[in-house]
Structure 1
Amino acid sequence: MLVLLCLASAGALAQPVAQPPRQEPSVLRQGAEQFLRVQAAGLPGEVQITVGQIDARTSLPACASPEYFLPNGARAWGKTTVGVRCTVPSPWTIYVSAVVQVQGDYVVTALPVAQGQALGPNDVARVRGDLSALPAGIVTDPSQAVGRTVTMSLQAGTPLRNDVLRSIQAVQQGQTVRIVTAGPGFKVSAEARALNNAAEGQVAQARTASGQVVSGVARAGGVVEVTY
């Protein structure tokens, strides 16, 4: 009888201990994609998100509420990384690679253009592609480029960036300008000398023949408009 009890006890001790549930990687990948879609809301174009695979050897305790975040320096644009962390029941953190592509319109040169040339409607064209693969500051609408000058010569088909475009100066420093002052029931004009460069709509300062410095809005043709 004693032998049977010992054998029964040994059998009970030999039973395997139940393992805690493990985290399903596919759930984390789906969560990372949903997180990136929220982060990418409002981007100018059609967003396509691809989340990388999680190493099959990764074994994590199941998490009731995984928290998704962008690591410092990461953003929902191009090649990126999403962090996933859990606090309970067991703390852990992993990082998942992803790619956020944004298919949208951008502007290129339709013809070769020379440095200093003012762009006209026929000098630019709209094309479609992955905006996330292009340099920062890409021009996405022809109206942002037409009427501005380029700071360098560009070949046909070159994507236009804001940092290579300059607004045409309506007023140039040292230029003789016409001060137009208007108010209720009156409008007068006088000549003055511009003290700064200003594009259309920017603030320009000028000194009159009497030495008075006035400020106004630069208008095409060397006009500084002062309104009261």
Structure 2
Amino acid sequence: MKSIVVFSGAGMSAESGIMTFRDMGGLWERYDVTEVASPEAWEKNPQLVMDFYNQRRKQLLQCEPNKGHTLIAGLEKDYDVQIITQNVDDLHERAGSTKVLHLHGELKKARSTVDESLVYTLKGGELKLGDYCEKGSQLRPHIVWFGEAVPAMDQAISLIQQGDMVVVVGTSLQVYPAAGLLNFIKKTVPIVVIDPDTPKFSAAGNITAIRKKASEGLQSLSTD
């Protein structure tokens, strides 16, 4: 069975109403990233950090997968589809995709501050001071913050090297090391980039640009 690797970014979920950091009017204009998305922020003011992610989680609960998500999920009928996403939402899963690797963590989960392997699904929707792991340590958002390593990178590299086709959708390719994944694609593998403003990258190969938003571009995607 032909393997398709989908590499998705914030533009994938923007059509569902998920606010992005970098788009005009996005989260960068409302928050200083160093105050809400860094290890230093957590050390300085964990309550502010938790409030920020609690707000994002609450927003996510009000959003639904869009046509683009369902189109990708539908590819599983005929292809082995692996999604590598920079997004922390669960919209790919809710649309029906079964193989999703989250590079930057998951908004609906929390993890121990003393043992990264202890990851929990947040049942109540909010993370609070006093929520502890089984080892008695405060839980933190299960998010890869700026300045932290990306634990899933090795797995992502392995997956993208195995693809017979790579679809890059809704990402500006400005966030590293995630954007560097494209350098690991085999030169003979066709790459389709779906974005209104086609990002520049150095990956060699047969590149097709579809200058449309995620859902519209995926509708015109040819997987032949």
Q: TM-score, normalised by structure 1?
A: 0.21
Max Rg structure: 1
Query: Which structure ranks higher in relative contact order (CA pairs < 8 Å, sequence separation ≥ 6)?
Result: 2
* TM-score, structure 2 as length reference: 0.21
